Structure 1
Amino acid sequence: MQTRPLLAKDLMTRGVLTVPPGMPVNILAQMLTQRGISAVPVVSETGQVLGIVTEADLLRRLASAEDPKKGLLAQILSSQNRQAARYARTHGRTAGDIMTTGVITVEEETSAAHIAHLLEEKGIKRVPVLRQGKLVGLVSRTDLLHAVLDPPPSIKAEAGTEDEQILRAIEDERGRQPWSNGAFVFADVTDGVVRLHGIVRSEEIRRGMCMLAQRIEGVKRVIDEMSVTSGVVMPGL
């Protein structure tokens, strides 16, 4: 059983292949193909991350050949800075020319949950891991699957009979989840079997309530007797 949350240092791929900013693009593309990798960090001589080159950066270079020609008005209205930046990246000759800059990075002690949040929020597939500002690894979406294999811990209940403990734990967890305010739901517990009945306003809240009950330590089974209504549900009414 995992005794602490998984961290970047537990999941990261070590010994990551890196390239200098001056590496020619054609050699870089050949390297990605031969190694079967989809991205490579670009680092300085001192090991600091300057950017990252991905398959998307290389494909953007190829796709630019069929960029539609803009009319005069469109050119005036569009950002010249943006046009110039795209031109430089799609016609660059080195890794430093075409790399994506402003790379999101994490530290070795960053939790897997926070990394997953960053990947989802920023729409990226991987993050470099740093130690004192220098690259020591890379965490990708694939690496995070190892964290998924370690299930969330059960929620422990306080003192009382077992069924009372379960019921109290359900109510305590509901108090920590704002979305459950949209559920007019009651729970009955008998011999570890939780019966949920009442009204919720969406299938998502219904599934959330079932999962909440299932996470409570000692629960043997959850019986869903909830009804979904499209109206606004106000608890306590």
Structure 2
Amino acid sequence: MAASRIEEIAMRAEDIMTREVVTVRPETPVGELARLFSDRGISGAPVVDAEGTLLGVVTETDLMRRIAAPTDAKPGWLGGLFHDPADLARRYARSHGRTAQDVMTPEPMTLGPDVPIARVAKLLEEKDIRRVPIVAAGRLLGVVSRADLLKAVLDAPAPEAPPEAADDAAIRAELARRLRQQPWVDRHFLHASVRHGHVTFSGFARSPAVVQGLRALAEGVPGVREVSLDLAPPPPFMLGMP
């Protein structure tokens, strides 16, 4: 999802989170977790106590680690020199444990209910995770997943185009602002013109990725109807220029 698009949506985590979340108790047996995941078609669940306090998160990966646990072979003397006994003990408990509390990831990454959804999206992308628990005072309120974010983007109204009389001027100003924000844009080698909502880039682009990025950037500007790219690779003498 385009960052510029989601940043325009004035919503917070509590507005899009899934509130009816499947949770498990810390004493839930591993076998029961596997059946629950299979029956409900889910890949993970928060672990909470009787008061709803979030203790951790257990996922399919945790269960697979338990199923595929290595044999209990004693590490060699060289391996023992480079391993922390406490870390080895934690790994053993997670790969051999019998309950959710044993195999879960404790103290998972969380966000508060008032966090803007743009920040939620950034966290999921940077940490390469599929969902994040939303908590307040330690208690689980819900979960925001990638699917929740996608739905928020699809359901949000499209941004209004600039007034007809100021179309090209407004587009040109917004396009220039967005170009200045991107470190990969070679503005000294690039010219952008706007006519009746049609953006044309001419000049030089260092790579196909830059060309693709310019198209995506221009298409995200409100009022843009079409994008043309008349760009060529820079000549060798320009490659070393700042």
Normalization by structure 2: what TM-score? Answer: 0.82
Cross-structure match for 1:127: 132
1:103-114 aligned at under 5 Å gives the runs 103-114=108-119
Cross-structure match for 1:201: 206
Secondary structure of the residue aligned to 2:69 is helix
The residue identity in structure 2 corresponding to 1:125 is R
Quick check: 1:43 aligned with 2:62? no
Distance in 2 (CA, whole Å) between partners of 1:68 and 1:126 is: 35
Distance in 2 (CA, whole Å) between partners of 1:218 and 1:120 is: 28
Superposition deviation, residue 173 in structure 1: 2.3
Distance in 1 (CA, whole Å) between partners of 2:148 and 2:164 is: 39
What is the aligned-residue RMSD (CA, Å)?
Answer: 2.9
Is the alpha carbon distance of 1:127 and 1:169 closer, same or farther for their aligned partners in structure 2, counting shifts above 3 Å?
A: closer
CA deviations over 1:118-167 (Å, ceiling 9, x no partner): 12222322111123431121122222221342579659769985333332
Question: Conserved in 1, the CA contact under 8 Å of 2:30 and 2:98?
Answer: yes
Distance in 2 (CA, whole Å) between partners of 1:214 and 1:124 is: 28
Question: Conserved in 1, the CA contact under 8 Å of 2:186 and 2:205?
Answer: no
Distance in 2 (CA, whole Å) between partners of 1:67 and 1:7 is: 47
Superposition deviation, residue 34 in structure 1: 2.1
Cross-structure match for 1:178: 183
The structure 2 residue matched to 1:52, chosen from 42, 51, 57, is 57
Distance in 1 (CA, whole Å) between partners of 2:135 and 2:53 is: 9
Cross-structure match for 1:12: 17
Q: Any gaps of 5 or more consecutive residues in structure 2?
A: 1-5
Runs of 4+ off more than 4 Å? 66-69, 150-161
Distance in 1 (CA, whole Å) between partners of 2:138 and 2:156 is: 32
Question: Conserved in 2, the CA contact under 8 Å of 1:183 and 1:199?
Answer: no
The structure 2 residue matched to 1:142, chosen from 119, 143, 147, is 147
Is the alpha carbon distance of 1:140 and 1:75 closer, same or farther for their aligned partners in structure 2, counting shifts above 3 Å?
A: same
Question: Conserved in 2, the CA contact under 8 Å of 1:22 and 1:95?
Answer: yes
Distance in 2 (CA, whole Å) between partners of 1:53 and 1:99 is: 4
Is the alpha carbon distance of 1:122 and 1:149 closer, same or farther for their aligned partners in structure 2, counting shifts above 3 Å?
A: same
Cross-structure match for 2:123: 118
Normalization by structure 1: what TM-score? Answer: 0.84
